[in-house]
Amino acid sequence: MNIGAPACGMNAAIRSFVRISLTKGFRVLGIHDSFDGLIRGEVYPMTWTQVQGWAGSGGSLLGTKKHCAQDAGIGKIALKFTEFKIDGLMIVGGFEAFLSAYQLEEARENFPSLCIPIVAIPCTISNNVPGSDFSLGADTALNEITDICDRIKQSATGTKRRVFVAETMGGYCGYLATLAGLASGADAAYIFEEKFTVTDLKQDVEHLKDKITNAGVQRGLVLRNEKANKNYTTDFISRLFAEEGYPVFTTRMNVLGHVQQGGYPSPFDRNYGTKMAARGVEWLSEMVEKYSTPQGPVRTGNADTVVLLGMLKRHLNFTPVQELADGTDFNKRIPKEQWWLKLRPLLRILAKHSVLGYETEAEMVDIDEDEDEEGEHIL
């Protein structure tokens, strides 16, 4: 089942899940259009040839909705699980997939048919799912944004002294804006996780004016995550830069929109989805064998049988969703701790801000053999 907004890598994961499950002797059902399709009974067997060519397709060929389990009704879902005799479930999707798995786990006491092994695979361009450093689809979206930013800057070739303000997607998660800013050489990236004021915006204007006037820079780029601040909108920032930057530079605004979700999946997302689904099938196979009852159905009430499969420090790990709930901001739909925030200081360093405003994470250690003849350190 897919849940959440479409993202590249979904189809590669489904293809891998179907084919590996079939080789292990399981009957594979595809639930179309998330829980809405489940309630309508749109659950059909999937075959080997049906998923041919899915790895290179974007979006969700199985169909997906942004409704979580409670929206569809837990009781209705439990009845359908019984009707279709489901013994294990893989959910591929964004934050809604994680939330749905958590809601199903919470409702197990009242609905025995939900006591099956469930694994969620994070797949969203926002990269905002807890328990995983990277989500399926985020790499493809990042490639698209970087390519668009390069094209935007290239469009100003021959036009001197212009600053572009571009808005990226991602909800309250600033992953795309931050990493795209690093990749495309942006002068600033405004995100929800790092608070900013109008004073900060004014300092960035002065920084751009100084670079253009004294350093010979002809173009600038500023990124803003879509929900970075409800008052300092992309339009507001663009107008402020236009007013305060005149006559040194002119300003143009670009809202990148849903083009970030499109395109063909990158090789990383195709392989990542294939590997994630393969590991998920292995785990489900072990759980089904372990918790099969003499009567036939698989039944387990253990909290560690509803998990999220994610990549943590280059290793694929299964983490119970109950554990992840404590480290999640459900209101803003983001993890409370995010590794990429440590990269934020690089933005200001590489943009050569006169006011850096960052903290170093390590100190240089004096080592005699690493000094040249004049006593300077060599890097």
Query: What are 58-69's pLDDT values in tens digits?
Result: 999 999 998 899
31 in Cβ contact with 43 (< 8 Å): yes
Closest CA to 15 of 69, 71, 53, 63: 53
H-type alpha helices, 33-137: 34-40, 69-72, 74-83, 95-106
Give me the architecture of the 2-137+265-335 domain, per CATH. Answer: 3-Layer(aba) Sandwich (3.40)
Query: What are 126-140's pLDDT values in tens digits?
Result: 999 999 999 999 999
- Pairing outcome for strands 43-45 and 29-31: antiparallel
Strands (E), the chain: 2-3, 29-31, 43-45, 89-93, 118-122, 162-168, 188-190, 219-225, 250-255, 306-312, 315-320, 328-329, 334-335
Percent of the chain with pLDDT strictly greater than 70: 92
What is the DSSP annotation of 233-288?
A: -HHHHHHHHHHHHTTT-EEEEEE-GGGGG-SPPPHHHHHHHHHHHHHHHHHHHHHH
Instruction: Compute the distance between CA of residue 32 and CA of residue 55 in angstroms, rounded to an integer.
Output: 18
Question: 369 pLDDT exceeds 80?
Answer: no
Instruction: Compute the distance between CA of residue 86 and CA of residue 78 in angstroms, rounded to an integer.
Output: 10
Residue 378 structure tokens: 């060599």
**Per-residue model confidence (pLDDT) at position 218:** 84
pTM: 0.88
Q: How confident is the model at residue 356 (pLDDT cuts 50, 70, 90)?
A: very low
Question: 366 pLDDT exceeds 60?
Answer: no
Query: What are 304-331's pLDDT values in tens digits?
Result: 999 999 999 889 999 999 999 999 999 9
**Per-residue model confidence (pLDDT) at position 378:** 56
> What is the three-class DSSP state of 118?
strand
Quick one: CA torsion of 48, 53, 55, 59, rounded to 10 degrees? -110
- Work out the number of other CB atoms within 10 angstroms of the CB of residue 133: 17
3 in Cβ contact with 68 (< 8 Å): yes
Query: What are 3-16's pLDDT values in tens digits?
Result: 999 999 999 999 99
Q: How far is CA 263 from CA 6, 8, 149, 163, 172, in A?
A: 11, 8, 16, 27, 23
What residue segments make up the domains of the chain, in order of their start?
A: 2-137+265-335, 140-261+339-350
Which residue's entry shows tokens 């739909």?
333
Question: 360 pLDDT exceeds 50?
Answer: no
DSSP, res 138 = H
Question: 119 pLDDT exceeds 80?
Answer: yes
* 140-261+339-350 has CATH 3.40.50.460 classification: yes
Q: Mean of the per-residue pLDDT values for the chain?
A: 90
132 in Cβ contact with 308 (< 8 Å): yes
Helix axes 267-291, 10-23, angle to 10 degrees: 40
Query: What are 230-258's pLDDT values in tens digits?
Result: 999 999 999 999 999 999 999 999 999 88
Domains 2-137+265-335 and 140-261+339-350 share a fold: yes
